[in-house]
Amino acid sequence: MLAIVLTLVAAACGTDSGGSGGGSSIPRVIVGDRTYAIDDLTAAGAKTVKEYDVDDLPGATAVWKTVFNRLDYEARFYATHEDAVAMGTSYAVSVTGDDAIVTGDDVAWEEGARDRRKCSRAAQTPHSSCSYSARYLEYVIRGNMILFCEGDDTADAFASCENLLNLMDPA
């Protein structure tokens, strides 16, 4: 079991970079031993909206919905970077991107599920013809935090992540 976890951590921390062609300068997984908390996001200018109950999210110590520059973010915090990668990656993958699972019985973590989806429908159609898609198209794991970012496409989502992360850790 330990070998599998170490293999997953090594693979995730290796070459995975964001934005498949999106031109982002940040990788999806940023190794680090810094321990982030919600205060780091608020100090960067993000506004807290809601704290979620993490009892059913393995390894998570806290999860917050925040808003920054009129975009929604979700920040999941773990004890360590290794925990974020090992216990959080599969959950992050399941709710991001075009093939995200944001409705139904297959949603991996129910708490806050409605906040992780958006309604897409053609103009002048009733609410009942809503087609749900992922609100967060991408995520970045930095230190002990997984940050989910909103955007019109993958490149925009990574740019949103990059903007907020740069304010948290200015060079």
Domain encompassing residue 97: 2-168
Separation between Cα atoms, residue 55 and residue 166, nearest integer Å: 30
Determine the 3-state secondary structure of 23 from DSSP: coil
Beta bridge partners of 76: 63, 146
| Res. 9 pLDDT band, cuts 50 70 90 | very low
Determine the 3-state secondary structure of 137 from DSSP: strand
Which CA distances in Å does 155 have to 6, 124, 130, 137? 29, 29, 25, 9
Contact 26, 158 (CB under 8 A): yes
Q: Beta strand 136-142 with 29-30: parallel, antiparallel or unpaired?
A: parallel
Total number of domains constituting the chain: 1
| Res. 171 pLDDT band, cuts 50 70 90 | low
pLDDT tens sequence across 77-122: 999 999 999 999 999 999 998 899 999 899 999 999 999 998 876 6
pTM summary value: 0.83
Q: With 50 as the cut, is the pLDDT of residue 7 above it?
A: no
Separation between Cα atoms, residue 103 and residue 107, nearest integer Å: 6
pLDDT tens sequence across 28-74: 999 988 999 999 999 999 999 999 999 999 999 999 999 999 999 99
Distance of CA 18 to the CA centre of its chain: 12
